[in-house]
Amino acid sequence: MNDRPNPLRSLPAVNDVLAVPPICDLLATQPRERLVEAIRAELAEIRERLRRGETVVEASRAELLAQAAATRFHQAMAPHLRRVINATGIVLHTNLGRAPMAEAAAQAAHAAASEYLNLELDLETGKRSSRQNAVRDWICQLTGAESATAVNNNAAATVIVLRALCQGKEVIVSRGQLVEIGGSFRIPEIMGVSGATLREVGTTNITRLSDYANAITPNTGGLLLVHCSNYRISGFTESVPVEDLVTLGRERGIPVIDDVGSGALIDWARWGFTGEPLARSSLAAGADLVLFSGDKLLGGPQAGLIAGKKEWIQKVEKDPLMRAFRLDKMTLASLEATLRIYLDEERALREIPILRMLETPLTTLEARALRLASQITSLPGIASAEPRADVSYVGGGSLPDQTCPTWTVEVQARGLSDEELSYRLRRNNPAVLGRLRDGKLILDMLTIFEAQESALVDALAGVITSQEAGGSS
């Protein structure tokens, strides 16, 4: 060992590496500084490994070092947000951006982003106008509301409504509805932020109208209903329907606020999903304000929609927080486009991706599963790919415990655990996410776009080959 030359001394210099492919080719199009950084980082790592006594093949060869530095460069320059093929079957996957948007909505966002638009200008009069005009009338038409406005999400809608209507006052909520939606959205805490005081009534399973009535004082600012979006209370249970709360609110002159959560604009019972309130029904029952998300069952961009009495909407829009919570031009444009699609329900079923998924006949999902399975089976390195009838969840904190039928492909790769296979697919570009069950990777046809199928097969082919090339690891 001691008579061998010190490998640290024979390390190529940065300039040597810059002169050989693929680095010298990258220099033509990529920033030199970033390439030098990648080479230096690669050299630093090699030095460290040599000091630990490891054998490093790149250490004395500029070409190999350039190869490693180029890989490091590409990794460092890659965007953090990547396309994902959602093969989980979960239609609204919060970690995957909830609802994919309709083509028309995506195009509207693109146009709003890349050109100028009349965001706050009335083109008739040439005077300044409100950006909320982009969505106000459409929300009113679709829900029957007198007026409407929109903010960044339903959490923001809740905060600004409670502030504008109930700041410094008490808001009465049932103990069965003190929900946590996830990611630190808890009704008691939201209440704290808004400056309203929470007045809990009833018990977890039973709350009666008399509980609300008995809690009303001269300092009561609102009666709040919160939909149990992500859980169900079943068994011995009783809650107060919005109609009854409205009667009480009217008698005592107190506004009723209904957070319906998911914002279904059409009845999801058509696909067998029950218990999801419609904004239109709540407003018809007399709720003063109804709040819901734009990117859950509505299938649009992230937004919080507020619909109801004009008087309250005006108060909300005058609140100083509106400036912080207002939607940007791209979201407004895509929300408007999404809402306009709903003016024609048949069109909504065709064009809103999450509705289209649920509308897909089971026989179509089956045919696609059979086709995908046979394509995957023919890949070298695949042990099995079996089509199978299964069930999916809507997810995204909506419709808990309710499933819908689907078709899946169950994949096993030769010499590769289900976990290793799913890890490699997750790191692919586009990333592929499935479910794991009984040592198999489950690919759910419900949420895989038909146009993504060939990319999915390519991804599988790629990650299995990389295993064979890399040997056992």
Ligand X SMILES: *Cc1c(COP(=O)(O)O)cnc(C)c1O
Quick check: helix, strand or coil at residue 197? strand
Under the binding rule (CB under 6 A), the answer on residue 259 touching ligand X is yes
Q: CB–CB of 255/249 below 8 Å?
A: yes
Burial class, 187, CB count within 10 angstroms (exposed 0-12 / middle 13-18 / buried 19+) = buried
DSSP of 150-211: EES-HHHHHHHHHHHHHTTSEEEEEGGG--EEETTEEHHHHHHHHT-EEEEES-SSB--HHH
For residue 187, the minimal CB distance to ligand X (Å) is 8
Under the binding rule (CB under 6 A), the answer on residue 154 touching ligand X is yes
| The only residue of 17, 155, 355, 416 in contact with ligand X, by rule CB under 6 A | 155
What the block records as the tokens of 31 is 């920033």
Under the binding rule (CB under 6 A), the answer on residue 181 touching ligand X is yes
For residue 227, the minimal CB distance to ligand X (Å) is 5
Residue closest to 161 by CA, chosen among 300, 297, 251, 260: 260
Under the binding rule (CB under 6 A), the answer on residue 176 touching ligand X is no
Under the binding rule (CB under 6 A), the answer on residue 242 touching ligand X is no
State the distance between the two ends of the chain, measured CA to CA, in whole angstroms: 29
Cβ neighbours for 343, distance < 8 A, ≥ 6 positions apart: 138, 141, 142
Stretch that binds ligand X, among 81-89, 258-266, 364-372, 444-452 (CB under 6 A): 258-266
Residues 79-138, interacting with ligand X (CB under 6 A): none
Stretch that binds ligand X, among 9-17, 203-211, 246-254, 255-263 (CB under 6 A): 255-263
For residue 156, the minimal CB distance to ligand X (Å) is 7
Q: Which helix (H) or strand (E) holds 160?
A: helix 154-166
For residue 132, the minimal CB distance to ligand X (Å) is 17
For residue 281, the minimal CB distance to ligand X (Å) is 15
Residues 269-288, interacting with ligand X (CB under 6 A): none
For residue 70, the minimal CB distance to ligand X (Å) is 41
Stretch that binds ligand X, among 58-66, 226-234, 242-250, 308-316 (CB under 6 A): 226-234
For residue 431, the minimal CB distance to ligand X (Å) is 23
Under the binding rule (CB under 6 A), the answer on residue 226 touching ligand X is yes
Ramachandran class of 232: left when φ > 0, alpha when ψ lies in -120 to 50, beta otherwise: beta
DSSP for residue 428:
S
Residue closer to ligand X by CB (options 264, 373) is 264
Q: CB–CB of 239/226 below 8 Å?
A: no
Which residue's CB atom is positioned nearest to ligand X? 261
Distance, CA of 356 to CA of 446 (rounded, Å): 10
For residue 264, the minimal CB distance to ligand X (Å) is 11
Under the binding rule (CB under 6 A), the answer on residue 304 touching ligand X is yes
Site string for ligand X, 26-45 (x = CB under 6 A): --------------------
Stretch that binds ligand X, among 38-46, 223-231, 279-287, 457-465 (CB under 6 A): 223-231
Residue reference for tokens 């005081």: 197
∠ CA 83-469-467, rounded to 5°: 55
Residue reference for tokens 């407004």: 332
Residue closer to ligand X by CB (options 58, 295) is 295
Residue closer to ligand X by CB (options 227, 435) is 227
For residue 423, the minimal CB distance to ligand X (Å) is 29
For residue 97, the minimal CB distance to ligand X (Å) is 12
Residue reference for tokens 């609140």: 319
Distance, CA of 152 to CA of 171 (rounded, Å): 23
For residue 145, the minimal CB distance to ligand X (Å) is 18
DSSP for residue 184:
T
Under the binding rule (CB under 6 A), the answer on residue 293 touching ligand X is yes
Quick check: helix, strand or coil at residue 263? coil
Quick check: helix, strand or coil at residue 182? strand
Q: CB–CB of 180/231 below 8 Å?
A: no
Cα 466 off chain centre by: 31
Residue closest to 164 by CA, chosen among 228, 240, 84, 221: 221
Q: CB–CB of 304/332 below 8 Å?
A: no
Residue closer to ligand X by CB (options 181, 425) is 181
Under the binding rule (CB under 6 A), the answer on residue 261 touching ligand X is yes
DSSP for residue 13:
P
Residue closer to ligand X by CB (options 204, 378) is 204
For residue 287, the minimal CB distance to ligand X (Å) is 14
DSSP for residue 443:
E
| Phi, psi at 355, each rounded to 5° | -75, -40
| The only residue of 163, 227, 368, 424 in contact with ligand X, by rule CB under 6 A | 227
Site string for ligand X, 393-412 (x = CB under 6 A): ----x---------------
Residue closer to ligand X by CB (options 255, 395) is 395
Under the binding rule (CB under 6 A), the answer on residue 149 touching ligand X is no
Binding site for ligand X (CB under 6 A): 153-155, 181, 185, 226-227, 229, 259, 261-262, 293, 304, 397
